[in-house]
Structure formats: C-alpha cells, structure tokens
Homo-oligomer: A and B are copies of this chain.
Amino acid sequence: MKKLGSLEALAEALRRLPGVGPKSAQRIAYHLLQHDREGASLLGRALLQAVEQIQHCASCNTFTESQVCETCLDAERDSSLLCVVETPSDQLMIEQTLTYKGLYFVLMGRLSPLDGVGPKDIHLEKLIARASDGIVKEVVLATNFTNEGEATAYYISETLKARGLKVSRLARGVPVGGELEYVDAGTIARAMLDRRST
C-alpha cells in the first residue's frame, strides 16, 4: 500500500489515547479528516496549549495554569481542614456536595504496587510537607473505597499519624436510597460495625 506520512503519523499518535487500538485509531483519523477538520485543528491546538500551560498547583497538586490554584487561594476556606482525594474529578464531586469548606490535596493517583505506583508517584512527600504547615488540624482521607484506595488511605494515615496529625476517613455504610436486599454483605457488615447511636 501507499505510504501516507501524515495520515499514518496521525493514526499512530491517536493510539496514545487510552483505549484506542489500531483499528479505532484509523477510523478516528478518517473521521476527523473527512468530517471534522475544524475539530481536528481545535483538538491539536488544545493539546499543545494544555501541555504548555498546565502544571501542578504548588499547594494542592491539582492541575492549574497558575502557580497556585484558585481553590487554594480562596481566603474563605477553612485552612485547618485538608481533604485528600485521588483525582480532580473526585475533588469536584466533593465540592458538589456543598458539605466541605476546607482545602484539598490531590494525589493524582493511588498506590498500586502491581502497576509500579509507589509513594513517590502520589506525591507523598509534598502531602506530608503540606499537612505539616502548622495550620492544618485535620486531614480527611477521601480516596476511593476500592482496594487500592483503601490501601492508599491506610498508608497515608499511618504516615501522618506518626507525625502527630489528626487523620479521619469518609464514613462507610449503606448508600442513601440503598435497599438492604441489594446492598452487598461487606457494606452491611461495615455499616453494622460502624453503627451510630441516634
């Protein structure tokens, strides 16, 4: 077959997107070139600009275009509370509950020894420095309740408690609207152990 430098390079580059194999990459390339060249240019520029502009917040480690992100600069937030989340999406979910007014630290990942993700990759040193600023009184661990998220929470908890910090974890239990019949036994067991007086 004929060699098409730019087209092949595009298909090859599209494979860098998560979950895109050779066939999909080719289909996406054809689609963009045939039906959405404007979108392709737009995406091309957005990618280059994002790579150039976006860095990690010096304080909370999330993605930002400035030295320190807007959330960290917000003077109305309670700087004695630091909530640790895995990703910016998780932070967004917590913001949407309107129940938390403190600051955040975004790990940008979770411990996962099998994938080679260790304490360094989740910026643990930066978190320790951040939590030891003398202002933070309580660290709320809001990593996911998956095996990896739980292990991450445990590891961070042990590390921070060894430095005399107060550490808490989001409550586990039956979800709001949950019917016991359809909730898994592990969740019910945890809810029973953690039951609260009313």
Contact = CB atoms under 8 A, between A and B. Distances in A.
Contact of A69 (B2, B34, B39): B2
Contact of A50 (B9, B50, B108): B9
B33 A50 contact: yes
Interface string A48-65: 111111100000000111
Interface in A24-81: 26-34, 36-37, 39-54, 63-65, 69-71
B41 A48 contact: yes
A70 B4 CA distance: 9
Nearest to A23: B89
A16 interface: yes
A53 to B, nearest CB: 4
Contact residue range for chain A?
35 or more
A interface, over-half SS: helix
A50 B6 contact: yes
A2 B92 CA distance: 10
B33 A54 contact: yes
A116 B51 CA distance: 38
In the assembly, how many copies of this chain are there? 2
A52 B42 CA distance: 13
Residue of A29, A47, A64, A65 with highest tally of chain B CB at under 10 A: A47
Contacts of A32: 16-17, 47, 50-51
A87 interface: yes
A43 B17 contact: yes
A176 interface: no
A30 B64 contact: no
A112 B142 CA distance: 50
Contact of A6 (B18, B44, B53): B53
Interface in A75-133: 87-89, 92, 95, 108-109
5 contacts: A13-B39, A14-B43, A41-B48, A43-B47, A47-B47
